[in-house]
Amino acid sequence: MSDQPAPSHPAPAAEHTAVRGGAGPAALPDAGPYDALLLLSFGGPEGPDDVVPFLENVTRGRGIPRERLKEVGRHYFLFGGVSPINAQNRELLHALRKDFAEAGLDLPVYWGNRNWAPYLTDTLREISAAGHRRVLVLATSAYASYSGCRQYRENLAAAMSALADEGRPVPRVDKLRHYFNHPGFVQPMVDATLTALAELPAGVREGARLAFTTHSIPVSAADTSGPVAGHGSGGAYVAQHMDVARVVAEAVRQATGVERPWELVYQSRSGAPHIPWLEPDICDHLEEVHAAGAQAVVMVPIGFVSDHMEVKYDLDTEAAAKAAELGLPVSRAATVGADPRFAAAVRDLVLERAAAERGRTPERCALGALGPSHDVCPAGCCPARTPAPAAAGTD
Ligand SMILES: CC1=C(CCC(=O)O)c2cc3nc(cc4[nH]c(cc5[nH]c(cc1n2)c(C)c5CCC(=O)O)c(CCC(=O)O)c4C)C(CCC(=O)O)=C3C
Ligand SMILES: [Fe+2]
């Protein structure tokens, strides 16, 4: 966390850097019992021929209307059939390896996807063949939800079962806690929001509102997101996003001296129209605030880890077109991507979890009101509509 102002962020917990064996040089950071980190992501097409098979992978058995699929395929073709997500994950992979190497953390980092090459099962096979037996997983989704958490745990269980069927050693797999409120994830969003504000015409900057955006999900999925005890209106999914939005809005207020109205709004709705999903949609929100006299809006995609297709199309193309039609100045904050502070945050989370697994009580960095999330998803956390085996959790 060296290059981070982070007022309320303590230095990496002393436990992490504790000197082993007395007065000698500081010992290297210790990820034991883990012997590998796995970056687990969504995957995306890398050329026009990939688009349809990719969408078939994404939507297998999920009942997404054909019309919606055609529409989403069109988004990818507008960008030459290439999603930015894989390149962004390669950058994150480099940033993690660089950060770990500079910190003296000896932990190999692998990458596998749910929906496109490199596929998770192939990566897990590689991890197993390299002799690794305790794997920690970083999913590219910072929040609780079925799609962002349990579905990745189901993907892990399926990959593990494929290895078992092949008679290979199956590594034990744990998943890092949700990192939505880690300072290394939040601080870059604050800076990005300030940068996006500065991109607005000077005359409307002061009056600009903030629209925090995330992926819409079915209301029923939001209500049951997170541990059972927190189920209820919006569940952990909405509560976690609201917590981050509040922290960013407050930090931006402090930095600019301007109190701005802000909302959490949604984007990228899918599914059948008669099923309720989280609202309002960003485009409806732009219309509404414009009608109410808003001068400008900064869109801050706090729900996403990189500027992938949901950001490039749904915000930079679709919402930007809506704003242009309204004559409403907008700008869009960058996501965290491969920011070195995020890489350092991942290292902090790895060392935190490793220490906890060794029976220590590590310091757990978190901003906002919710505090650090659980290490292990309890039974009933983010339930699936159709129950399936899931790894790295209680059920
Ligand atoms: C919560 C959430 C995240 C954030 C957490 C995370 O990152 O995991 C996320 C990320 C992403 N979603 C993505 C792409 C798609 N998501 C779809 C469909 C869906 N997403 C859902 C939820 C989420 N999605 C849901 C409830 C559906 C309905 C179908 C279902 O119940 O599964 C579809 C099908 C077509 C459509 O309906 O849009 C596509 C193509 C990409 C890749 C972008 C790229 O290529 O750059 C990324 C990072
Ligand atoms: Fe999605």
Nearest residue (CA) to ligand 1, atom 14: 310
Minimum-distance ligand 1 atom for the alpha carbon of 308: 46
> 42, 312, 316: which to mutate for ligand 1, most atoms within 8 A of CB?
42
Look at 8-12, 98-102, 290-294, 304-308 and tell me which has the smallest mean pLDDT: 8-12
Mean pLDDT of 71-86: 97
| Ligand with smallest separation from the Cα of 225 | 1
- Residue 388 token pair: 């399936």
Ligand 1 neighbour 194 (Cβ under 6 A): no
Closest to 120 (Cα-Cα) out of 141, 138, 97: 138
| Ligand with smallest separation from the Cα of 73 | 1
| Ligand with smallest separation from the Cα of 59 | 1
H-run or E-run covering 72: helix 66-78
What is the model's pLDDT at position 270?
Answer: 87
pLDDT digits (tens, 9 = 90+) for 279-297: 999 999 999 999 999 999 9
pLDDT digits (tens, 9 = 90+) for 182-232: 999 999 999 999 999 999 999 999 999 999 999 999 999 999 999 998 888
pLDDT digits (tens, 9 = 90+) for 331-382: 999 999 999 999 999 999 999 999 999 999 999 999 999 999 999 999 999 9
The residue with tokens 């802000």 is: 262
What is the model's pLDDT at position 69?
Answer: 84
Cα separation, 266 vs 278, in Å, equals 7
Cα separation, 203 vs 313, in Å, equals 27
Cα separation, 139 vs 246, in Å, equals 24
* Residue 19 burial (10 A CB sphere; 0-12, 13-18, 19+): exposed
Q: Is the pLDDT of residue 327 over 70?
A: yes
Nearest residue (CA) to ligand 1, atom 27: 270
Report ipTM (2 d.p.).
0.94
pLDDT digits (tens, 9 = 90+) for 22-65: 445 678 999 999 999 999 999 999 999 999 999 999 988 777 88
Q: Distance, CA 215 to ligand 2 centroid (Å)?
A: 7
Q: Is the pLDDT of residue 243 over 70?
A: yes
H-run or E-run covering 219: helix 219-223
How many CB atoms lie under 10 A from the CB of residue 18? 13
Q: Is the pLDDT of residue 330 over 50?
A: yes
pLDDT digits (tens, 9 = 90+) for 121-139: 999 999 999 999 999 999 9
Ligand 1 neighbour 73 (Cβ under 6 A): no
Nearest residue (CA) to ligand 1, atom 15: 58
Percent of the chain with pLDDT over 90: 88
Ligand 1 neighbour 140 (Cβ under 6 A): yes
What is the model's pLDDT at position 24?
Answer: 56
Q: Is the pLDDT of residue 5 over 50?
A: no
Contact 82, 47 (CB under 8 A): yes
pTM here is 0.93
Average pLDDT of the residues of the chain: 93
* Residue 281 burial (10 A CB sphere; 0-12, 13-18, 19+): buried
Minimum-distance ligand 1 atom for the alpha carbon of 76: 45
Q: Tell me the domains of the chain and their CATH numbers.
A: 14-179+338-357 (3.40.50.1400), 183-332 (3.40.50.1400)
Q: Is 268 annotated as a binding residue?
A: no
